[in-house]
């Protein structure tokens, strides 16, 4: 269910723009299919998707390491299709850091400045400023092998920023770090990008990383952008079943649309239950549909719901204590993989397996998407 995506600001006044870009390696199969995407200056945009979805290929075409088979890539209104990578003025950060092992940290940072024929005193000032930006001012004399993984990634980031580019591209830059350091660096990178006003294109397959860091996220699958939106809209209002399943945890129920009236779809689930849902990718009676609802939108305390809420019978299959939340797996409407998340609070009951309960949700939290 891919769609062409242009941001609200059309590509004419965008800082970065892909116009009908396609990429094929063998002349037959398209890795990227008719991509339209535009970004305003200063935006932090993440390209998110599974392996092989086309996100990294898009980043490499923007960097100049891959050539578009068709279409135009524009930077500040100028086509860069035929401009070599080293003349695009783009900063790059990779997962493997790509630091020169025989050079000191300061020499690594100085190298892109030397290539640009910047004088020695100015180089030293820019290197010092870049190291301070990433809290590594004391490490200029060390070599990469003397640094931890997190420190090396800071240096790689400083090297991408040292020549003050207007656009920085990052390809899975935090993939090699442990969870705690990764989360800390997510915050630092985002703050730095916004403080400096740098336009950033960030590639990851980690949905949490994408949601916490980005102004907007482009979800890729099968060479197309499935949805392009701010993180909260992407999570709360997925436009198709792929996005609903790929972003966050999601419950699905299968059914058939009985009628659509006043913006509400009446859906008969496969076990015979009838519910209301917001029609997103369905348009007429008789269509098969996959119902989507987030685990945290399902209530086990029905007093918290309004009168028009739906309730279904359920059986507790498994109760998992996770510290701040309880995760309960239920048997619902013929499925045994229906998940409910409830906050750990003094009044929240711990449900025992085998218990028969009722669950419910507001109709607006339930989306009727295309069948999968």
Q: What is the CATH number of the domain that holds 188?
A: 3.40.50.300
Spacing of C-alpha 289 from chain mean position: 25
Q: Which two tokens stand for residue 26?
A: 């063998």
Looking at the fold, whether 339 and 196 belong to one and the same domain comes out as no
Looking at the fold, whether 192 and 280 belong to one and the same domain comes out as no
Looking at the fold, whether 36 and 174 belong to one and the same domain comes out as yes
β-pairing verdict for 199-204 and 44-48? parallel
* pLDDT tens readout for residues 317-347: 999 999 999 999 999 998 999 999 998 888 7
pLDDT of residue 6: 41
Looking at the fold, whether 287 and 229 belong to one and the same domain comes out as no
The three-point CA angle 227-231-235 to 5° equals 75
Q: Which two tokens stand for residue 41?
A: 């200056």
Using CB atoms within 10 Å of the CB of residue 347, give its burial: 0 to 12 exposed, 13 to 18 middle, 19+ buried: exposed
Using CB atoms within 10 Å of the CB of residue 186, give its burial: 0 to 12 exposed, 13 to 18 middle, 19+ buried: buried
Looking at the fold, whether 43 and 105 belong to one and the same domain comes out as yes
Strand, helix or coil for residue 119: coil
Low-confidence ranges of the chain (pLDDT < 50): 1-10
**Cβ count near 67 (within 10 Å):** 11
pLDDT of residue 105: 93
Residues of the domain holding 304: 249-370
- State how many domains the chain has: 2
Looking at the fold, whether 206 and 334 belong to one and the same domain comes out as no
Q: What is the CATH number of the domain that holds 268?
A: 2.40.50.140
pLDDT of residue 12: 55
Looking at the fold, whether 209 and 232 belong to one and the same domain comes out as yes
Among residues 17, 54, 60, the alpha carbon closest in space to that of 39 is found at 17
- How far apart, in whole angstroms, are the C-alpha atoms of residue 201 and residue 199? 7
Looking at the fold, whether 283 and 268 belong to one and the same domain comes out as yes
Q: How far is CA 102 from CA 86, 144, 146, 147, 323, in A?
A: 22, 8, 12, 13, 47
Residue 1 is assigned to a structural domain of this protein: no
Among residues 362, 369, 363, 370, the alpha carbon closest in space to that of 262 is found at 363
Q: Which two tokens stand for residue 314?
A: 């359920």
Strand, helix or coil for residue 142: coil
pLDDT of residue 360: 92
Length of the chain: 372
Place of tokens 């809290």: 135
Looking at the fold, whether 209 and 355 belong to one and the same domain comes out as no
pLDDT of residue 4: 46
Domain end (from 218, 242, 266): 242
Residue 51 is assigned to a structural domain of this protein: yes
Looking at the fold, whether 256 and 213 belong to one and the same domain comes out as no
pLDDT of residue 7: 39
**Alpha helix segments (H runs only) across the chain:** 55-63, 105-115, 120-133, 149-161, 179-196, 207-213, 231-236, 241-246
- How far apart, in whole angstroms, are the C-alpha atoms of residue 311 and residue 342? 17
Domain end (from 189, 209, 242): 242
pLDDT of residue 131: 92
């Amino acid at each position: 269910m891919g769609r062409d995506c242009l941001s609200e600001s059309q590509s004419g006044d965008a800082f970065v723009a892909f116009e009908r870009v396609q990429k094929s390696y063998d002349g037959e199969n398209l890795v990227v299919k008719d991509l339209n995407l535009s970004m305003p200056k200063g935006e932090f945009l993440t390209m998110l998707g599974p392996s092989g979805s086309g996100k990294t290929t898009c980043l490499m075409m923007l960097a100049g390491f891959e050539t578009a088979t068709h279409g135009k890539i524009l930077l500040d209104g100028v086509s860069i299709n035929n401009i070599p990578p080293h003349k695009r003025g783009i900063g790059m950060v990779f997962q493997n850091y790509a630091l020169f092992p025989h050079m000191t940290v300061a020499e690594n940072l100085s190298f892109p400045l030397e290539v640009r024929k910047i004088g020695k005193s100015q180089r030293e000032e820019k290197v010092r400023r870049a190291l301070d930006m990433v809290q590594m001012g004391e490490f200029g004399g060390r070599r990469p092998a003397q640094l931890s993984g997190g420190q090396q990634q800071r240096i790689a980031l400083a090297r991408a920023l040292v020549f003050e580019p207007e656009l920085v591209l990052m390809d899975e830059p935090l993939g090699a770090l442990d969870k705690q350091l990764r989360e800390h660096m997510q915050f630092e990178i985002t703050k730095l990008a916004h403080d400096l006003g740098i336009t950033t294109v960030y590639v990851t397959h980690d949905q949490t990383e994408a949601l916490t860091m980005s102004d907007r996220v482009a979800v890729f699958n099968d060479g197309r952008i499935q949805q392009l939106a701010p993180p909260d809209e992407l999570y709360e209002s997925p436009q198709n079943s792929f996005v609903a399943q790929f972003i966050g945890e999601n419950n699905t129920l299968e059914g058939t649309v009985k009628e659509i009236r006043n913006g509400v779809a009446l859906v008969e689930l496969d076990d015979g239950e009838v519910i209301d849902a917001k029609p997103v990718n369905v348009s007429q009676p008789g269509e098969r549909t996959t119902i989507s609802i987030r685990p945290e939108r399902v209530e086990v305390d029905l007093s918290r719901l309004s009168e028009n809420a739906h309730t279904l019978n359920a059986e507790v299959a498994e109760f998992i204590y996770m510290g701040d939340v309880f995760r309960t797996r239920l048997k619902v409407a013929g499925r045994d993989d229906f998940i409910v998340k409830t906050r750990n609070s003094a009044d929240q009951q711990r449900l025992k397996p085998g218990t028969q309960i009722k669950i419910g949700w507001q109709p607006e939290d339930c989306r009727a998407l295309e069948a999968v």
